[in-house]
Structure 1
Amino acid sequence: MWHISGNLIFINSKRKTSLFIIGFLSILSMPVSIAENTPHEHQSGLYFYSHEVDKEERTSLHIPISEIDELGRNFTIGFDFKIRTSNQNFGYIFRMIGEKEMNLDLIISDLRMDSLVSVILSNKPIIQFNTHSLSNFGFDTWNNACISLVDDTISMTINGITKSRKIPDNKYRFLDIYFGANKHAEFSTTEISPMTVKNIRLFSKQKEIRYWPLDRHGKNIVCDEYKKEKAYTINPKWEIDNHYKWQKKESITFEMFPQIAFDSINERVFIAQYNRMLIYDVQREKLDTIHNIQGNPYYVYANQMVYDSRVGQLISYNFSNDRLATYNFQQRKWNYNDPEKIMPQYWHHGKLFISEDSMLVTIGGYGYFKYKGVMMKYPLSEKKWEKVDISKTIYPRYLGSIGYLGEGKVLYFGGYGSESGNQEESPRNYYDLYQIDVHNDSIVKLWEKATKNNEVHYTNSNSMVIDKKKGVFYVLTYENRLKKSNIQIKEFKINSPEYRFVGDTIPYIFSDNRSFCDLFLSSKAGKLVAITTYTGDKENVSNIDIYTINYSPFATDEIYQQETIINTYQNYIITIIIVGLIICIILYVLKKKKRLKQYNGNGKENSNDNTPLSLDLLKDVPVGNTSPSIILLGGFQVIDEKRIDITKMFPPTVKHL
């Protein structure tokens, strides 16, 4: 008999082994359903390159289970897997290889037809599932699988459905598990199902002994959570890296100084010029072009366009007059036709449109050798600009970053300017954060970050992304004292000047008013969107790049396992020590040879040198026209300044090193 107590199963009879396996595998699937109901915080898993790439570029994950002492012939392996939509789905999910050329494979056939998931033992199918009969099995969805070997029974469970089969000859031990491709001498394969795998667990005697989440990782290794047991990868693509590495989605060449805005409702980036409109859809990852029938935005060199989500229109504005240029998407028309080119008064001002108040708000800027200490407000109902002097609280500046908190409150961070507003009077970088109420113009300084003498100075993207739940905001930062710079996200706390770098870098050419960068959040797609533009000095053509990164962005220590970093560092140190030792020995031997030459020339031996050297060992051997060198590749060899091969002077230990 058998019964379940809590999460434990007790077996009173060996005849009930199959029932035990079914009960145990059912319990293994329980945490999966719970996890699916929890909020999805980030992507994880190992993405396997499959038929879409050349065979040598396909992915492999190798777990050498022969090195796990606790694992005997009886064990269970569980994991989650997802089959991607693809023209070809056939391939191996995993292959286990054991003693006496025994193999156990899990293979999937084409899901578009009468699909089968098959367990194959030593080239004979022993268990098969028709995918149409499996619960919630299909493309691009997570499935749970467990396979168990207990005495003479093998069992396979997929999404809670279990099948078992007797294997009376189970007397050999499995040594290796390969997910995807493998280069094993007898069982090599490159036929991989297009899949993603995560949460690999090994059980022995109903106890979980190893767990690879396939989340944080090293370069080509990943360690389990319990004993730091290593698994090895070839051509890996880690899903979690999408939270760290920027992906370039579009690279566009456009007429000089395009106008850029973002639609946070439909998650679209607009790039406008006089005769056309480019629209990048973040969710679809597609770029469309609309050719305008009539009109144009303001021909202003600075970026002065926002999106009004309340009525679904673009607004191009000019600080010199109260008329707004608006774009009607249905008619493909601007209501403005003047082709006059306008020199900006407020370069790099912070801008946003508050839909609930139907109000355009800008802060700061630069023009005509002066930094601006003003907030400009344009309520659409009043159809005119309102200018508010904020210079007594927020010193004049440009290149600051702005974001909307809600209820009429905005955050404004950093920038570059001076206390007087004059360009010639000690301009500097600012690292302070303000909360501004646009309804009553009140300003609260939240904090200011102290700077150090050797600290790298930076300025920011036009916009910030605020996460009120976490109490942080994200902003693109770059070193404004360099032309060839790099952009990286900084995550700041709202209530204190603490920050950290997240994500990797984006190359960025900063040439003051010829450059622009901005940051937006695409909530539905779960991505941050970065836009960079640069207009060359001569060609007057703008290069626009669009990048995305999964939200929330991660720091380096959230991506890489610390133990893999330590191992890499230790290997680096060991290599330096070995090379240093070789160099020291070479210098020592050369010094000995020099002393020996002095002995041959003077007829005396240096009284301080008691180390005997064989004259035969130092016999000169010319080596053609070879230059003096130490050769470490293709064999160890040392040639001195007289082109003599002195390799034989070194002991075998050095040659081996």
Structure 2
Amino acid sequence: MLFCVFLLLTCISNPAVFAQGQAYGLGFESFESVQDKRTGLDLSPGSNFCFKGDFELSFELSFLPDKKNYFGYIVRLIDDNNRNIDILYDNSDAVTQHFKVVTGDRFSTIAFDIPEQDLFQKWNRIRLIYSSSQKEIRLISGTRTFRHALTVNPTSCFKILFGATRYKNFNTTDVPPMKIRNVQLTDNGALKYHWPLDEMKESKAGEIVSHKDGLATNPLWIKKMHYDWQPLRTFTLQGPARVTCDQESGTVFVVGEDTLVSYRVATDAVSYRSYPAQSFFMDNQVLFDKSKNQIFNLFINEKQVTAFDLKTGTWNRNVADSSQKTHFLHANKFFNPLDSSIYMLGGYGHLEYKANIQKYDLKSSSWADLTKRDTVFNPRYLAALGRTEGGAYLIGGYGSTTGKQVLNPRNWYDLLYFNVRDQSFRQIYQLPTPGEDFVFANSMVINEKEDSYYALIFPKDKFQTEMQLIRGSLKTPDYEAVGSKIPFQFLDTGSYADLFYDKHTCRFVAVTLHKNDRNQTVASIYSLYSPPLPGSGPTIQEAGEKSPGFSGAGLLALLAGAIALVLAFIYFKNKKRIQPAIPANADHAVTVDSVPEIEVAPTQEFSPIPLQNSIFLFGNLQLFDEDGREITKLFTPLLKELFLVLLLYSTRREGISSEKLKELLWFDKSADSARNNRSVNIAKLKAVLEKLKSAVISKETGYWRLNVDYDITRVDYAEYLALVSGKRILNKHEITRLANITKRGSFLSNLEYEWLDSFKSEVSNEIVDAYLRYAGSVNMADDPEFLIRLANYIFYFDPVNEEAMILKCKALAHLGKHSLAKTTLENFAREYSRIYGEEFSKDMPEVLHS
């Protein structure tokens, strides 16, 4: 336990242990720069290294992507007799081994290669061993060892230079675009020198063992690139302009009245396209659609959309209205591929904040104003939105509950989730009010795997201001500042800011737009490498007092708190053994289930589920092979959807026809193209399913089927169907089995496909009906504790099921837990009002006597 306390204190007092991560090293300016601006590293400026016998030079290497030319010297060792040993990279197409070792003016027998994916996406350790005892040099790359016989002097001293070198007659400016880190020198097996290369500024390359610092010329410090936003380009366009991005390729599009500027972050390439002047209003938004390779210009107030085809370079039409509109300024928008529609939320104009939810259907070219189904989304603008597979997260903004600017406007700090399927909002949490109010740039970057988001914030009450990137949680109201600040001139009707993520180069891209006094828009583009390092700016602590430094008393208090935390952990760990489990994906039922559970004796309902040869559809989709290894990650998004279509249609129905498959998955392709896509992807799916013992794709009956031997491979969905079929009343043992299946969460809770809705609806209805039929067949006095759990099971699938609420309240009242029954009713009424927009009419006496 004391070790746990020590570890906890270490983490708290030294957060850099976790924050620093792998974002460091020295990058080398290469052929993109003129000769005297290229990068070099001298490990011993003004002196040489002398060794007693064998010595080893090792370092980690990676290449920078998307550069013009990969050729040159990686490192040169030059002894005091002016003999050189070089490691270089030759990018000639004629060679198969691109890395070579040169001794003197000849190639040695050492030549090797590193797989391209590893070379550009991983750090690769290279070891060069100078052995006077064996009279050879050895190079180790990965698991391979290469040798070259060489007569060596055991008392030689060496100059060691990376990249561009300016030493005696060994000058060269041929350097590949690379990055290195963790350079080490050992003498007879003992570590003598270590240069981590984790600097952020200046030219010193700190050495941490013998304090023999190196000197970097024209350094490109990787750590600095993960903290400082780099200004990339600035463009000036006539009239209003808006910005969007192809985040797959990292191409930023600045759309103006008569010009489209395309800028690719990876290559720094710029292109301009001119076209006849288009109408462009102040509250316009633009949005890039990868599937159509088009940019949509959204005239929100006019309820019209025009499209620019990037292939032909033309707009499909113009909007004939020259007035400058500001009805929906700084509204948020996103494209939902599930229904091929663009959604627009909120906005501001003419002294009013908007809570409009608008939808434009690309298939039918129709516009709709959607009815609000809750009171969570208050009128606002200057919020940030991030799209997910089934909807979008929305955070913060500025507005008022009435929408009127004259009636108590304020900053919002809530995180909401907009569900496209039922077009409703759900509040995740409320951020504590910060010390200084802030609003958001238009978009945020969502990382669902880590349940996190990134967003740009800034104060709206200043013209000359700065934007700060924050990293926050999608689960808890925590956030921290990361990276440096970006200069920004903010004026409601004359400025705009957005945030994107370039998946190709793993960079955040920020774009600021500012209208100058000549009716021009100045667009500035910045980038920051991921992961960004913690910066100085607002944190969750600013909701209260800032944390003081640790005094002696503070450390004592921290130690006491840490011990209490460990004791609490032990207590709850033991307590958990006698409490019923709660599904990991029951977030939609949190409000209803906030009542403390009644402690009961453990039952068999939560017995461990074997993972070997299993397919789980309740909760998150998961597949495990015969060794218990999860293989879900082998699915691409399309393979995952194809797998589910085949499994569900085979399990619940007779299978699926080729025509229906095309309709669901390849509706936008010709018959031949769809057939080719189907053949290719079914072959890929078969390769993945080979890891399961018994799951075979067939078309023996004319329908595509996924045949599974349930005696060998467990499928929770098939077990569930066997229980609920026939609509009979299950006994307690069967209800327990059903609960054991569904305790992982709702059916395919993390997936949203339009065709899947009918399956999800069937599952929810059948499970709720099965639980309610059982509840109606037993007396309350026989097992009230089990009926409470039964009500909670129902809430997982239907958070406002009135019968479940009545059942739970009656069972709690029967046990004498009247305050808990009252809390259950209040929570239910609150959730009911949020979803249906009207008050729940029954009071406690009516509930208990119904």
Cα distance in structure 1, aligned partners of 2:478 and 2:350: 35
Q: Indicate the residue corresponding to 2:146 in structure 1.
A: 162
Do the aligned residues in 2 keep the contact of 1:359 with 1:378 (CA within 8 Å)?
Answer: yes
Change (3 A) 1:60 1:282: closer
Give the one of 356, 360, 384 matched to 1:401: 384
Q: Is the 8 A contact 1:488 1:502 kept in 2?
A: yes
How many residues are aligned here? 500
Of 217, 220, 230 in structure 1, the residue corresponding to residue 203 of structure 2 is 220
Q: Does 2:226 match 1:247? A: no
Alignment pair present for 1:450 and 2:393: no
Name the aligned partner's letter for residue 318 of structure 1: F
| Deviations 1:570-612, CA, capped at 9 Å, x for gaps | xxxxxxxxxxxxxxxxxxxxxxxxxxxxxxxxxxxxxxxxxxx
Alignment of 1:522-601 (within 5 A): 522-536=502-516, 538-555=517-534
CA gap of 1:469–1:74, structure 2 versus 1, over 3 A, is same
Q: Distance in 2 between matches of 1:338 and 1:144?
A: 64
In the alignment, which residue of structure 1 is the partner of 2:479? 499
Instruction: Name the CA distance, whole Å, in 2 between partners of 1:403 and 1:138.
Output: 33
Aligned mates of 1:491, 1:82 — CA distance in 2: 27
Query: Which residue pairs with 1:313 in the alignment?
Result: 294
Match of 1:645 in 2: none
Secondary structure of 2:284's counterpart equals coil
Range with bigger deviation, 322-331 or 477-486:
322-331
2:59 to 79, 89, 94: 79
Which position in structure 2 is the counterpart of 1:191? Answer: 172
Identity %: 21
The farther-off stretch of 459-468 and 315-324 is 315-324
Name 1:300's counterpart in structure 2. 281
Q: Deviations over 1:433-487 (max 9, x none)?
A: 11122332332222222235xx232211101110011111011112222211122
Matched AA of 1:508:
F
- Write the mapping of 1:37-76 to structure 2, written as runs, cut at 5 A: 45-49=25-29, 52-55=33-36, 58-63=39-44, 72-76=52-56
Contact residue 111 and residue 138 of structure 1 kept, 8 A: no
Counterpart residue type for residue 543 of structure 1: V
Q: 1:65 to 1:73 in 2, by over 3 A?
A: farther
Q: How far apart in 2 are the matches of 1:111 and 1:440?
A: 55
| Alignment-derived partner of residue 277 in structure 1 | 260
The whole-number CA distance in structure 1 between the counterparts of 2:346 and 2:175 is 51
Per the alignment, residue 439 of structure 1 pairs with: 421
Distance 2:74 2:358 in 1: 62
Residue equivalent to 2:350? 368
Partner Cα distance (2:89, 2:445) in 1: 45
Listed as ranges, the gaps of 5+ residues in structure 2 are: 1-20, 537-850
Separation in 1 of the partners of 2:266 and 2:83?
Answer: 43
Tell me the SS of whatever aligns to 2:367: coil
Report the AA paired with residue 533 of structure 2. Answer: F
Work out the CA distance in 1 between the residues paired with 2:116 and 2:360: 52
Task: Pick closer, same or farther for the CA change 1:251–1:75 going to 2, 3 Å.
Answer: same
TM-score by length of 1: 0.66
2: distance between equivalents of 1:177 and 1:328? 54
Confirm whether residue 514 of structure 1 aligns to residue 498 of structure 2: no
Mapped to 2, the partners of 1:382 and 1:395 lie a distance apart of 28
Q: Is contact 1:373-1:391 (8 Å) kept?
A: no
Q: Are 2:155 and 1:171 equivalent residues in the alignment?
A: yes
1:636-651 aligned at under 5 Å gives the runs none
Alpha-carbon distance change, 423 to 138 in structure 1, aligned in 2, over 3 angstroms:
closer
How far the C-alpha of 1:423 sits from its partner, in A, is 1.9
The aligned amino acid for 2:407 is E
Q: 1:314 to 1:128 in 2, by over 3 A?
A: closer
Determine which of 343, 346, 357 is the counterpart of 2:339: 357
Measured in 2, the distance between the counterparts of 1:395 and 1:117 equals: 64
Quick check: which one's strand share is greater?
1
User: Quick one: distance in 2 between partners of 1:68 and 1:257?
Assistant: 61
Q: CA deviation at 1:64?
A: 7.9
Residue aligning to 1:619: none
Structure 1 counterpart of 2:445, from 462, 465, 471: 465
Distance 1:378 1:212, change over 3 A: same
Question: What amino acid does structure 1 have at the position aligned with 2:468?
Answer: Q
Map of 1:253-268 to 2, 5 A cutoff? 253-265=236-248, 267-268=250-251
Q: Is the 8 A contact 1:55 1:190 kept in 2?
A: no
- TM-score (norm. length: structure 2): 0.52
SS in 2 for 1:490: strand
Letter in 2 for 1:498: D
Partner of 1:386: 369
Report whether the alignment pairs 1:427 with 2:409.
Answer: yes
C-alpha separation between the residues in 1 aligned to 2:329 and 2:296? 17
Q: 1:320 to 1:102 in 2, by over 3 A?
A: closer
Other-structure match for 1:134: 112
1:484 aligns with 2:468: no
Give the partner amino acid of 2:175: P
Amino acid at match of 1:429: N
8 Å CA contact 1:48–1:60 kept in 2: the answer is no
Q: Following TM superposition, by how much is the alpha carbon of 1:508 offset from its aligned partner in structure 2, in angstroms? A: 1.1
Listed one character per residue, the Cα deviations across residues 47-92 of structure 1 (whole Å, up to 9, x for unaligned) are: 23467445487532324899999x7433211224468877795657
Deviations 1:181-205 (A, max 9, x none): 6788xx5865344143333233344
- Most deviating of 263-272 and 332-341: 263-272
1:347 correspondence with 2:324: no
Deviation track 1:597-649 (CA, whole Å, cap 9, x = no partner) reads xxxxxxxxxxxxxxxxxxxxxxxxxxxxxxxxxxxxxxxxxxxxxxxxxxxxx
- Partner AA of 1:246 in structure 2: W
Distance apart, 1:255 and its partner CA: 1.6
Q: CA deviation at 1:515?
A: 0.4
Mapped contact 2:464–2:490 kept (Cα < 8 A): yes
CA RMSD of aligned residues (A): 3.9
Listed as ranges, the gaps of 5+ residues in structure 1 are 1-40, 558-657
Note if contact 1:252-1:543 (Cα within 8 Å) is conserved in structure 2: yes
Distance across 2 between alignment mates of 1:501 and 1:179: 35
Contact 1:267 1:522 in 2 (8 A): yes
Q: Contact 1:50 / 1:59 at 8 angstroms: preserved in 2? A: no
How far the C-alpha of 1:251 sits from its partner, in A, is 1.3
Normalized per residue, the structure richer in helix is 2
Provide the C-alpha distance between the structure 2 equivalents of 1:520 and 1:480, rounded to a whole number of angstroms.
21
Deviation for aligned residue 1:493: 0.9
Q: How many angstroms apart in 2 are the aligned matches of 1:505 and 1:58?
A: 27
One-letter amino acid of the structure 2 residue matched with residue 313 of structure 1 = Q
Distance 2:300 2:250 in 1: 27
Q: What SS does the corresponding residue of 1:241 show, helix, strand or coil?
A: helix
Label 1:449 to 1:167 Cα distance change in 2 as closer, same or farther (>3 A).
Answer: same
| Paired residue secondary structure (2:299) | coil
Q: Give the aligned residue type for 1:487.
A: M
User: How many angstroms apart in 2 are the aligned matches of 1:216 and 1:556?
Assistant: 16
Residues of 1 paired with 2:287 and 2:37: CA distance? 48
* CA–CA distance in structure 2, aligned partners of residues 420 and 154 of structure 1: 81
Rounded Cα–Cα distance in structure 2 between residues aligned with 1:500 and 1:177: 41
Aligned partner letter, 2:294: Q
